[in-house]
Amino acid sequence: MLTTRRTALGMCAALVLPAYAQVSDLNDAINKAGRQRMLSQRVGKAYLALGLQVHTAAATKVLDQSMALFDRQLTELKVFAPTTAIRETYALLETQWSGLKGLLVGSAPSAANAVKLLTLDASVLALANTGTVQLEQVHGKPTGKLVNIAGRQRMLSQRMAKFYLAQAWGVEVTQASAELAKARGEFAQALEVLRNAPEANADIHQELALADAQWVLFGSALSAKPSVGNAANVFSASENLLTVMDKVTSLYSKIQKT
């Protein structure tokens, strides 16, 4: 089972490392900007997994590749930024991201630094979200909003896993429990929005059906009492759900007519 899970994790890591050299249009910009939100939570999840010694090889790969992808997309988004306000957002994001990276690579994971992590990645997430919303506003069409919503599901998949692992490590347990419950509710609501969107085509509905199945599995893992053993299941399930939601976001980003 462990081999199967690590294979799935490797596939997902490849999936979220697209080979694009630049932002192609506003849909792509919203997709990549939204992916920055996800990466802010995914690096935190990986850090906590390393601290718990859960899927250490996979967590190391996830952390390294997620940091590299964040750096690359940040450069692309800074170049593409169509307004002064968006350029300023990404300049601020670069500063906050630098601080988070310093914690991620500065020393071995510790519970004390994990507390700091939750504060630092919250700042990165907030700015990444601001940039995504600003790009959606420039876009001004329904598909832009749907790309944003679908992309946010990727972030929520990682955020839920991150807070579950925090509970398993005994880090900010009360906050982690509350944030996990909130994220679960938001994810379920957004699935309904994506499913009922008039723009959803057959390919999107097919991927959303897969997302429903992965969501059931992930929900079951999240409902187990936080522990190191159960954290391993949550880590794997969150990666599988991320894979599907990344595909959904990509499909929405390719819709050009509305």
pLDDT digits (tens, 9 = 90+) for 110-123: 999 999 999 999 99
Confidence of residue 195 (pLDDT cuts 50, 70, 90): very high
pLDDT in tens, 50-91: 999 999 999 999 999 999 999 999 999 999 999 999 999 999
Kindly indicate the confidence band of residue 193, based on its pLDDT and cuts at 50, 70 and 90: very high
Please report which confidence band the pLDDT of residue 1 belongs to, taking 50, 70 and 90 as the band edges: very low
CA angle (125 as vertex; 48, 41 as ends), nearest 5? 25
Rounded to whole angstroms, what are the CA distances from 130 to 37, 88, 133, 196, 205?
A: 10, 11, 5, 26, 28
**Residue 14 φ/ψ, nearest 5 degrees:** -65, -40
Please, what sign has the CA dihedral across residues 106, 166, 150, 127?
negative
Residue 6 has pLDDT above 70, yes or no: no
- Domain parsing of the chain, residue ranges: 25-253
pLDDT band of residue 22 (cuts 50, 70, 90) is confident
Q: What is the reported pLDDT for 114?
A: 97
Rounded to whole angstroms, the Cα distance separating 258 from 256 reads 6
Give dist(CA 166, CA 173) in Å, integer.
7
Tell me the mean pLDDT in the region 11-30: 67
Is residue 14 predicted with pLDDT exceeding 50? no
pLDDT of residue 18: 52
CA atoms of 53 and 173, how far apart (whole Å): 19
The mean predicted confidence, pLDDT, of the chain is 91
User: Which token pair is 173?
Assistant: 């347990």
Picking from 42, 214, 245, the residue whose alpha carbon sits closest to that of residue 149 is 245
Q: Among the residues of the chain, which ranges form H helices?
A: 2-15, 26-52, 56-80, 84-106, 111-139, 142-169, 173-196, 202-223, 228-253
- 19 vs 183: which has the higher pLDDT: 183
4 band by pLDDT with thresholds 50, 70 and 90: very low
pLDDT at 2 over 50: no
Question: How far is the C-alpha of 96 from the C-alpha of 103, rounded, in Å?
Answer: 11
How much is the pLDDT for 107? 86
Percent of the chain residues topping a pLDDT of 90: 87
Residue 213 has pLDDT above 70, yes or no: yes
- Of residues 212 and 2, more confidently modeled: 212
| Cα 254 from chain centroid (whole Å) | 20
Identify the residue with better confidence: 15 or 180.
180
pLDDT for position 24: 83
Q: Which of the pair, 9 or 55, is modelled with greater confidence?
A: 55
**Average of pLDDT values for 158-178?**
98
Mean pLDDT of 37-56: 98
Return the half-sphere exposure (C-beta side, CA atoms, 13 A cut-off) of residue 196. Answer: 6
Dihedral sign computed on CA atoms, order 197, 198, 204, 207: positive
- Tell me how far apart the alpha carbons of residues 253 and 150 are, in angstroms, rounded to a whole number: 9
